[in-house]
Structure 1
Amino acid sequence: MMFAAAMDAAANPDEVRLRKGSSLRERLVWAGSGALVLLILVPGLLTWASGGPPFVAAFAAAPLGLFLIGVAALERNVAWIVTRDGILIGEQRPLGRVHKRMIGNRDISNVRVRKNRFSYPTSFSLACELASGDVLLSPPLPDITRVNETTATIARLLGLPDIAPVENPLDVVNAEIVLGSPAGLNFVRALRVIVPVLAGSWILLFLVALRIGESKLALGLLLPLGAIAAFALYRSAHRLAGALWIIRHGEIQIERIAWNGRQHAETIRADDIAAIEVDKPDSEARARTVSIRLHTGRTFRSPTRHDEKGARAVRAEIIRRLNVPPDAGKSVG
């Protein structure tokens, strides 16, 4: 889109650009997913038309499919360009015209930072209060590791008092950047108590199947599947307990639960690292993790996920703090 290309142009030091919206590729993915979901309706409608009972799951899929297609068709691309003259706001819907609006400095009474609720990953936006009393909410701030630095630049450009800093665990001014949550032994213990209970319930289901004469189902499916699930859940309980990365200048401390259920901490330094990579997106085509690959071949993936910009910002800050050679700071698609 012409609008997206214009808003993605390189910014100079006297402006800050904020952008929100989906690319054409992302819209096609949303629309295609919605169309596939709607295909579930076809067998149910054919069955219903031939006099059979309606397929409830098919009708349950209709709102989801229509929602995905609606998001692809109606979501707006929004961009703010903050300069010394004010804020230029541009909005565009797919295949529509660009609507521009200029907010002058004199029209702005106050600007504050707010944490976006229900956002994943965590993001921050500007709440711009106008002299008329209206409040405009900006697209997310672009660099999650430099939120307070970006807002200070915006306040300087607009000639406003300093914007109150926000608490951001990923900000570069922090002595430590924390990813994830502390690994808890209590969670592992509780999970390993629950597993035998689930196994007992599965055994009861197995015995019921034998009782009613379904021996093939009991011996061929329920028994091996239950044993494998219980063993896998019991052994992987430590992975579900969470992990914590503490990124300092010169080192990263990784705290996690080892396979034997004991708390384990490991320190990684620049000499240990072969590459730092941004992983390919997950199935949702949005969230990414940051991987650290050691010379020994071991790989650690960050306990938190971010969008592409956020993941690249976190990777860049890890490289800066550890002073890793540039050729180790690789990035995957």
Structure 2
Amino acid sequence: MDDTITTTDIRLREGASIAQRLVMAGFSAAVALCFTPGLFTHDTTEVIISVVALVLGAVFVVGIMMAPAVVWIITPDEILIGQQRPFGKLHTRVVAKDDIAGLQVPGSKRAKARFQLAFTLASGERLTSPPISDVTHVHDTVARIAAQFDVPDVEAPINPLDASNAEMRLGEPLEPFPARDIRIVAMIAVALCAVPYAYKLWRGLPPGPVDIMLLPIGAIAAFAVYRYANLVTGAFWIIRQADIRVERLWGDGSLRADHIAGPDVKTINVERRGRSEDEHCIVVIRLHSGRRFRSPRIGSRLEARAVGTEIVRRLGIGAESNKI
């Protein structure tokens, strides 16, 4: 199929690489193996728990390793669909232009700026594509596909990261936690740390060093919650032409805004936060001043690269600073 691909074709992929599959499968296997000591006990309950854990671990490993990789190649006249499992045969399908009756672009429940193409065929069958990797050009991609397949009345999706927007928005607008909720959490922290001390007094026993140590720890934890809870609300990026506005909250809930201009950027690159490259990639900007800004979570590495590339274009960042 690769020999027939031209530069006007649209390629969509879904499925983890072999390296990613091995990491996830290894993690699942390690968790399952932690329960193996229970197999060598004489406790029936522990043996049952161990067997169930091992079976579930094996199911997860097989499911991860055998998940299919899917590739869609959308040409002006047809859609070529390829699906292959590890160590399996390649299954292909061709959907002709005349077989396509409708097109919708549903969003993802897990990622706000992730979109797929849902084609309705003349037979009534519904085919859903892998996610559109270039999240900054979803409108153009959908309009182009609708035009070349002559599909009318395709509703354009609401995409906060589309390059056609004057302002691209990463994350959600920030709001401070209600003061009442913060006070409740602070009181819970104090109460939890005071429980062992109070229990010993209630039983007429002398509190131990750990019980006494927990009292100031509870007070410190309550103060930290009350003073710094709003710092964990994250960041909200507004990407405009020539600058980025980064909004965050101070501990007291007041808004803090920083601005990033192109000449201020030392490097820009994509990093992974967490184990999965399919869900937890972000854009990281380092300034000449030494400060570092991490974007809200974007999605896969391809999606994060698309956002980073648009940031480079809007801010006019030089090639020497572009590490995407």
Which TM-score bucket, shorter chain as reference? Answer: 0.7 to 0.9
Are the structure 2 counterparts of residues 285 and 214 from structure 1 closer, same or farther at C-alpha, using a change threshold of 3 Å? farther
Which range is displaced more, 53-62 or 293-302?
Answer: 53-62
Q: Percent identity?
A: 38
Are the structure 2 counterparts of residues 285 and 161 from structure 1 closer, same or farther at C-alpha, using a change threshold of 3 Å? closer
Q: Which residue of 2 aligns with 1:12?
A: 6
Alpha-carbon distance in structure 2 between the residues aligned to 1:297 and 1:188: 34
Q: Which residue of 2 aligns with 1:297?
A: 290
Q: Give 1:86 deviation, angstroms.
A: 0.6
Report the aligned-residue RMSD. 2.7
**Match of residue 65, structure 1, among 48, 53, 57:** 57
Q: Which residue of 2 aligns with 1:163?
A: 154
Alpha-carbon distance in structure 1 between the residues aligned to 2:207 and 2:57: 38
Alpha-carbon distance in structure 2 between the residues aligned to 1:168 and 1:152: 14
The answer to whether residue 15 in structure 2 is matched with residue 21 in structure 1 is yes
Q: Which residue of 2 aligns with 1:3?
A: none
Q: Which residue of 2 aligns with 1:254?
A: 246
Q: Which residue of 2 aligns with 1:328?
A: 321
**Other structure's SS at 1:110 match:** strand
Alpha-carbon distance in structure 2 between the residues aligned to 1:238 and 1:73: 41
Q: Is the 8 A contact 1:109 1:131 kept in 2?
A: yes
Which aligned pairs between 1:28-43 and structure 2 lie closer than 5 A?
28-43=22-37
Which aligned pairs between 1:169-248 and structure 2 lie closer than 5 A?
169-187=160-178, 190-209=181-200, 212-213=205-206, 215-219=208-212, 222-223=214-215, 225-227=217-219, 229-248=221-240
Alpha-carbon distance in structure 1 between the residues aligned to 2:35 and 2:316: 55
Question: TM-score, with normalisation over the residues of structure 2?
Answer: 0.88
The answer to whether residue 123 in structure 2 is matched with residue 129 in structure 1 is no
User: Per-residue CA shift, 1:203-224, capped at 9, x if unaligned?
Assistant: 233332465445033135x346
Are the structure 2 counterparts of residues 167 and 192 from structure 1 closer, same or farther at C-alpha, using a change threshold of 3 Å? same
Alpha-carbon distance in structure 2 between the residues aligned to 1:57 and 1:225: 36
Are the structure 2 counterparts of residues 105 and 261 from structure 1 closer, same or farther at C-alpha, using a change threshold of 3 Å? closer
Q: Give 1:330 deviation, angstroms.
A: 1.9
**Other structure's SS at 1:240 match:** helix
User: Per-residue CA shift, 1:221-277, capped at 9, x if unaligned?
Assistant: x34653554444344312223321111111111121124542222222222222222
Give the total of aligned pairs. 321
Are the structure 2 counterparts of residues 72 and 241 from structure 1 closer, same or farther at C-alpha, using a change threshold of 3 Å? closer
Q: Which residue of 1 aligns with 2:267?
A: 275
**Other structure's SS at 1:289 match:** strand
**Other structure's SS at 1:100 match:** strand
Q: Give 1:145 deviation, angstroms.
A: 1.1
Q: Give 1:290 deviation, angstroms.
A: 1.1
Alpha-carbon distance in structure 1 between the residues aligned to 2:26 and 2:314: 41
Structure 2 unmatched ranges of 5 or more = none
Q: Is the 8 A contact 2:192 2:218 kept in 1?
A: no
Are the structure 2 counterparts of residues 261 and 162 from structure 1 closer, same or farther at C-alpha, using a change threshold of 3 Å? closer
**Match of residue 311, structure 2, among 312, 318, 327:** 318
Alpha-carbon distance in structure 1 between the residues aligned to 2:126 and 2:34: 42
Alpha-carbon distance in structure 2 between the residues aligned to 1:108 and 1:205: 67
Q: Give 1:59 deviation, angstroms.
A: 5.7
Q: Give 1:70 deviation, angstroms.
A: 2.8
Alpha-carbon distance in structure 1 between the residues aligned to 2:106 and 2:71: 18
Alpha-carbon distance in structure 1 between the residues aligned to 2:182 and 2:298: 24
**Other structure's SS at 1:69 match:** helix
Are the structure 2 counterparts of residues 126 and 241 from structure 1 closer, same or farther at C-alpha, using a change threshold of 3 Å? same
**Match of residue 90, structure 1, among 71, 77, 82:** 82
Q: Is the 8 A contact 1:244 1:303 kept in 2?
A: yes
Are the structure 2 counterparts of residues 186 and 36 from structure 1 closer, same or farther at C-alpha, using a change threshold of 3 Å? closer
Q: Give 1:83 deviation, angstroms.
A: 0.9
The answer to whether residue 66 in structure 2 is matched with residue 74 in structure 1 is yes
Are the structure 2 counterparts of residues 160 and 121 from structure 1 closer, same or farther at C-alpha, using a change threshold of 3 Å? closer
Alpha-carbon distance in structure 1 between the residues aligned to 2:186 and 2:29: 39
Q: Is the 8 A contact 2:82 2:91 kept in 1?
A: yes
Q: Give 1:106 deviation, angstroms.
A: 1.3
Question: TM-score, with normalisation over the residues of structure 1?
Answer: 0.86
